Amino acid sequence: MTSTDASLPQPADLPQPPRPDHRPTDRTHHGDTVTDPYEWLRDKEDPEVIAHLEAENAYADARTQHLSSLREQLVEEFVGHTQETDLSVPVRRGDWWYITRTTEGEDYPRHTRVRESSELPRGEGGVPAVEPGTLLPGEQVILDVQALGADQEFFSLGGFHPSPGGDLLAYSTDVRGDERFDVVVTDLNSGEVLDEAVRGAGYGLAFSADEQWLFYARVDEAWRQHQIWRHRLGGDASEDVLVLEESDERFMIGFEVSRDASTLILQSDSTSTSEGWLLDLTDPTSAPRAAGGRRQGVEYTLEHAGDHLLVVHNDGVEGFALATAALAEPGTWTRLLEAADGERLESAEAFAGHVALELRSAGLAAVRVIPRRSPAANRPLEARQAAAAWDVAAVWDVTHGGELDTVFVQTNPDFEQTVLRYLLTSLLTPATIAQVDLATRARTILRRTPAPGFDPELYVEKRLWARAADGTEVPISLAARKEISADGANPGYLYGYGSYEATMDPSFVPTRLSLLDRGIVVAIAHVRGGGEMGRPWYEHGKLLEKRNTFTDFVDCAEHLEQSGWVAPGRLAAEGRSAGGLLMGAIANLAPERFRAIIAGVPFVDALTTILDPSLPLTVGEWEEWGDPLHDPEVYAYMKSYSPYENVREVEYPAIFASTSLNDTRVFFVEPAKWVARLRETVTNDQAERPIVFRCEMVAGHGGRSGRYAKWQQRADELAWLLDQVGAPTTI
């Protein structure tokens, strides 16, 4: 690792950034009139808007031209830390083992399968022994994603679902980036395409038990998944049958198939309320059956346990509880287990002999196992019997003991299995697939994702705690090279999100090694509004307490400086989507704390968006942010923190904003307007602290598709960041 500052020389003649016209638009709410000079940039059908976005991209190219060799070097490092020809751990479904394979030089994987046989070579845990780049005897390619996506400017695989008997495959693709998918069904025996009738679907595909019907979702004009449809294979889409429709604009609907493939579990959710239904896949034309109803403020998920249901819910308990319900009375719940203080139960995975309960505990993801006293019978149990079937006193947790170890349930499709497969990771632990024997509790590592050139012994990871202004202790996950000391001289990188109860768990990201190996301290701020510390953590970072998200992040930044981990003036921050809102807010709130900010697909014009119920997802967002359209208090509160509304005439951090033209979640106009206002307001010296903006012209919320394109996009961002914080350009 090089310890000298090797910031790159700036271009001699700096280009001038684009300056869009002022075309004032007035809006008035609750007696307050706002004049917006840049709202006209919303119309992507306007040639002048497209010309402006292309000018922004040209400016970003010119303004970062001096970083081209560093970008190339970073891509080489990303590739160097990746075993390009690689594969997944085989997963057994029925008579087949399914495998995903990647190949050096290719963007997309191939999905393969091999039939279970005593002749298969075996590895750890009895799983077939597979090698990268070499097919097993009899292994067949069932979906060549590389062939599908190689010639597309953008490509995304939305779903991949073998049929229950293994004869058919349904998959869906998006070549625009707008998350509307076209569905294809193939015969896995002949390779023949059987059906391409369903176009523009949402997320989720499921076969009926007889494999004659396919269930799928549709979205409305506001990109709200609001309908579930049934399609007869080989039939015309015009004859498809509407199974269930969600008319309340606060809710989105989806589904999954029970582990035994007998039942379609449909669920409609808003931010704070749920409703579930069950549909018998052996009788696919039957109507869904209500399973729990809808009560404002009650959230729940359903899991089919063979002879009864398991329900994770918050009815009367803040941290959620696990309950049982008879199949005949799915709305009558008998409580089985409650979350302890500081915990949050999230979901249950039911098997014949156990249930694996995913939860949050001490700020980390964990898995708790509850044994069943007797195997599931092929008959429905009464609610009381169902509760008695589980031995709650014998619960135990799957743990590995690391300070930042994070454990998630992995793919476990067999209802009768006696081992549980799970994922282990941390900031310094590459994704590790393991399994535990549920009788002996013996753990077996099946595979650790290779990370060439990475030696975990060269680094340290730890948990820090920052004290917020109101006394709340906010967790920080941190990693650094071992030779780095808290001497107040280090550049730093702080990531955050803090919305929707989403958790930013410490996980291994190979591209971060390029930061760590240049002496940058890498940290994640687990701020309120996320779900890391349980349900109260989320409740105190939303609606009229949203400011806690922003002040927590600033307090974490201050703690990194005061503890000596990061030098004043050398801290960079990053957030994406709602985390981009966080970036815009902290830039306004404490610009002096940050040297540079990466804001990806940033939700920075939040008030404008949430005021307009015709925009995608807005009405459903009112339970997260509040309803400024009808509530003057919410309006005033949101206006006080919405980044676009609060840009100040002071020196700001350097800012790198990015978006995509076809993003349906955060429209490109938000960062376009924000950047324009920043440039005309802040006092930055553009030579020292530039504000650059990139817009992918064919992509969606996730940016470019294909792993090499994503590496290039990330290298673009990180080269700029390294330059801004004065980190070494070489390792």
Catalytic residue set: 577, 663, 701
Q: Could you please report the per-residue DSSP string of 313-349?
A: E-TT-TT-EEEEEETTEEEEEEEEEEPPTTEEEEEEE
Is 98 in a helix, a strand, or coil? Answer: strand
H helix or E strand, kind and range, residue 549: helix 547-562
Residues pairing with 432 in the sheet: 424, 448
Please report where in the chains the tokens 């349930």 appear, as a residue: 409
Burial class of residue 116 in the structure, from the number of CB atoms within 10 Å of its CB (0-12 exposed, 13-18 middle, 19+ buried): middle
Q: Work out the end-to-end distance of the chain between its first and last CA atoms, rounded to an integer number of angstroms.
A: 5
From edge to edge, which strands make up the β-sheet containing 274-280?
252-257, 263-269, 274-280, 289-290
Residues pairing with 477 in the sheet: 463, 524
φ, ψ for residue 121 (rounded to 5)? -65, 145
Q: What is the per-residue burial (b if ≥16 Cβ within 10 Å, else e) of 154-180?
A: bbbbbbbbbbbebebbbbbbbbbbbbb
Burial class of residue 525 in the structure, from the number of CB atoms within 10 Å of its CB (0-12 exposed, 13-18 middle, 19+ buried): buried
CA angle 189, 193, 194 (to 5 degrees): 90
Task: Kindly tell me the number of DSSP H helices and DSSP E strands found in the chain.
Answer: 13, 39
Distance CA 166, CA 155 (A): 26
> How is residue 593 written in tokens?
């704390």
Residues pairing with 424 in the sheet: 407, 432
Distance CA 525, CA 566 (A): 14
CA Rg, the chain, in Å? Answer: 26
H helix or E strand, kind and range, residue 584: helix 578-589
H helix or E strand, kind and range, residue 596: strand 596-600
Residues pairing with 415 in the sheet: none
Dihedral over alpha carbons 21, 24, 25, 26 (to 10 degrees): 160
Please report where in the chains the tokens 């049934």 appear, as a residue: 230
CA angle 79, 83, 84 (to 5 degrees): 70
Q: Could you please report the per-residue DSSP string of 358-404?
A: EEEETTEEEEEEEEBSSPPPSSPPPHHHHHHTB-GGG-EEE----TT
H helix or E strand, kind and range, residue 721: helix 707-725
Is 432 in a helix, a strand, or coil? Answer: strand
User: Residue 13: which residues within 8 A CB-CB, separation 6 or more?
Assistant: none
Distance CA 655, CA 693 (A): 8
Q: Which amino acid type is present at position 72?
A: E
131: number of Cβ within 10 Å: 11
Alpha carbons within 13 A on the beta-carbon side of 456: 13
635: number of Cβ within 10 Å: 21
CA angle 184, 186, 189 (to 5 degrees): 170
φ, ψ for residue 448 (rounded to 5)? -110, 125
